[in-house]
Amino acid sequence: MNVANLQLEGLIMAVASINKVLVSKGLLSADEIDGALRKTEASLTGEERAYEDLTPSYRDAVCFPIRLLQLANAMEPAGELPAFSALTRMVAQTKGHYNDQM
């Protein structure tokens, strides 16, 4: 495995943990975090972006960290975060199609 992939895995899980702390301390709500993540994904996949020329698998790669953070954010606030591998499986199971794939 590429070392950069491991670094990204660690970074994504660190952000997920920080998000849980922000929610548990009442600094942000899970809905506010979800809204920010959805806005980010929309800006990355919107028509005005250059990403429309990317293949669906490349678009999935760009959106993967956002989708994983959304799933982690939706987990029970007091509960443990699932392992990275479990979250990646959930991302794969919940991803939809892009408009140009229908």
pTM for the structure as a whole: 0.82
pLDDT at 101 > cutoff 60? no
Q: Where are the alpha helices (H) located in 1-102, listed in sequence order?
A: 3-24, 30-45, 56-74, 84-94
The string of pLDDT tens digits covering residues 22-71 is: 999 999 999 999 999 999 988 887 765 555 677 778 888 888 999 999 99
Residue length of the chain: 102
70 to each of 12, 48, 97, 100, how far by Cα in Å?
Answer: 11, 23, 17, 23
**Residue boundaries of the structural domains of the chain:** 3-96
